[in-house]
Amino acid sequence: MTTLGQDEIEYVTVMIAGQMFGLPIERVHDVFIPERLTRIPLAPLQIAGVLNLRGRIVTAIDMRRRLALPPREKGEKSMAVGVEHRGESFGLLVDTVGEVLKLPASSRDPNPVNLDLCLARVAHGVHRLDDRLMVILDVDRVFALQAEALAA
């Protein structure tokens, strides 16, 4: 859960298909370059595969597919943001990882009503930055919805 109600929240910013997203910093374990990704046959499309991160098996989630954004071009590099969910390690595959921003709660807006449903489900509001908008990513919902989608 994002820590609302406090004056300032720190976000790790990432770019996914040209859109900036922010993840609450306390949810981010590490940032790494995904290497030797093993694809998993028959797995849902959003699951890019599994990889070995310092002896742990990490499940990589392709955020472009997860958010129904245009898929990555072949050969295009990606970065991974390591997060934990219910004791398991996941890597969220994003295009690039940017700086950490400390943002006042006052610059946060609720999700615009016309936001794409796929995005709206995982977005926890939008921050108005000077030059662009940053969508706040609710990490738990990234997984929660996954489960719903699988059950469906």
Partner 1 sequence: MNDLLSEFLTETHESLDVVDVELVRFEREPNNAQILGNIFRLVHTIKGTCGFLGLPRLEALTHAAETLMGKFRDGMPVTQEAVTLILAVIDRIKEILAELERSQNEPNGADDDLIRDLECTSQSEAAASASAPAADLSVGTLTDQVLERPLRPGEVSLDELERAFRATPTPEPAAPAPAKAAVADDERRAMRDRRDEGRHDGAAKTHTLRVPVDTLERLMTMVSELVLTRNQLLEIMRRNEDSELKSPFQRLSNITGELQEGVMKTRMQPIGNAWAKLPRIVRDIAAELDKKIELVMVGEETELDRQVLELIKDPLTHMVRNSADHGLGTPATRRAAGKPETGTIRLSAHHEGGHIIIEIADDGRGLDTERIRAKAIRLGLISEEEAEKLTEAQIHKFIFAPGFSTATAVTSISGRGVGMDVVKSNIDQIGGTIDLKSVVGQGTIFRIKIPLTLAIISVLIVEADGDRFAIPQIAVVELVNVDADSEHRIERIKDASVLRLRDKLLPLVHLKSLLRLGEADGEAAEVFIVVTQVGNRTFGVVVDRVFHTEEIVVKPMSSMLRHLTMFSGNTILGDGAVIMILDPNGVAEAVGSHADTSIPAEERTEETRAVAADTVSLLVFRAGSGELKAVPLSLVTRIEKIAVREIEFSNGRPMVQYRGVLMPLLLIDADARLRTEGVQSLLVFADRDRSMGLVVDDIVDIVENRLDIQVASRTPGILGSAIVSGRATEIVDVGHFLPLAFEDWFHRAERSEAALTRRILFVDDSAFFRNLLTPVLKAAGYDVRTAAGAEEALAIIDADAQFDFVVADIEMPGMNGFELAERLCHDPRTQHLTLIALSSLTSAATIERGRQAGFHGFIAKFDRAGLLAALKQSQVELARAA
Q: What is the binding site for partner 1 (CB under 8 A)?
A: 36, 38-44, 47, 49-52, 55, 57, 59, 86, 88, 90, 143, 146-147, 150
User: Which lies closer to partner 1 via its Cβ, residue 117 or residue 147?
Assistant: 147
In the bound state with partner 1, the residue whose beta carbon lies nearer, of 4 and 43, is 43
Q: Taking the complex as a whole, how short is the minimal distance between the CB of residue 42 and partner 1, in angstroms?
A: 5
Nearer to partner 1, 78 or 146 (CB): 146
Shortest reach from residue 81's CB to partner 1, in Å: 16
Rounded Cα distance between 49 and 53, Å, is: 13
Calculate the dihedral angle through the C-alpha atoms of 109, 113, 117, 119, rounding to the nearest 10 degrees: -20
Nearest distance from C-beta of residue 72 to partner 1, angstroms: 20
Contact criterion met (CB below 8 Å) for 129 and 33:
no
Distance CA 46, CA 73 (A): 15
Copy the structure tokens of residue 8.
């300032």
Min dist CB 148 to partner 1, Å, is: 12
CA distances from 2 to 18, 84, 95, 118, 119 (A): 23, 15, 23, 19, 17
Nearer to partner 1, 2 or 46 (CB): 46
Distance CA(110)–CA(44), nearest Å, equals: 30
